[in-house]
Homo-oligomer: A and B are copies of this chain.
Amino acid sequence: MKVSVQSDDFDLSTEVIDISMNTRTGAVASFVGVVRDIPMTLEHYPGMTENAIKKIVEEARTRWQVLDYAVIHRYGDLQPGDQIVLVAIASSHRADAFAACQFIMDYLKTQAPFWKKEHHPEGARWVNALEADDEAAARWKSLKQPQRLVQK
């Protein structure tokens, strides 16, 4: 049950092991976002950002079985290849773990207060919000009520 907004790097295995202690855990889905080819600076809104992430996680927990979770988002200066974000979900069932993980990532992209400045060779520029991300988040709204996918 961990939400952290931090400048420090993180270790995926450590986080996954931490959330896998429950004996009902059979499935852990996780996601790591990585900086591609452009160095960037990530700005956040201390306090609000953590709260927004917690709300996203609570929304996911009303929809799917989540036994434990870790969400870590970094801020500050990041270089190509650096880890940016981690979402890890432990569940009894893999369909729940995957769905909750993907849901949280889609919402993180559109709801959590982070702003990305890319440092291109020709100068720095703030990244504009992408419609594709809004669409990815919006498709969850068409699920009219909390539902579980086919699962095992």
The one of B12, B34, B101 that contacts A13, using a Cβ cutoff of 8 Å: B12
Query: How many copies of the chain does the oligomer comprise?
Result: 2
A residues apposed to B, CB below 8 Å: 11-14, 16, 20-21, 23-37, 80-81, 92, 94-95, 97-98, 101-102, 105, 109, 130, 132-133, 135-136, 139, 150-152
Bound complex: CA of A132 vs CA of B23, how far in Å?
22
Known contacts A26-B33, A98-B98, A136-B150; 18 further A-B pairs (Cβ under 8 A):
A13-B13, A23-B37, A26-B34, A27-B32, A28-B31, A28-B32, A28-B33, A28-B34, A29-B29, A29-B31, A30-B30, A31-B94, A94-B102, A95-B136, A98-B105, A132-B150, A135-B150, A136-B151
* Chain B residues within 8 Å of A102, by CB: 94, 98
Question: Which of B11, B34, B133, B152 sits near A130, CB closer than 8 Å?
Answer: B152
A132 to B101 alpha-carbon distance, docked (Å) = 21
- Asked whether A80 and B28 contact (CB < 8 A) given A12-B12, A151-B136, the answer is no
Q: What residue in chain B is nearest A32 (Cβ atoms)?
A: B28
A105: shortest Cβ distance to chain B, in Å? 6
A95: which B residues are within 8 A, CB to CB? 136
Is there contact, CB below 8 Å, between A29 and B27? no
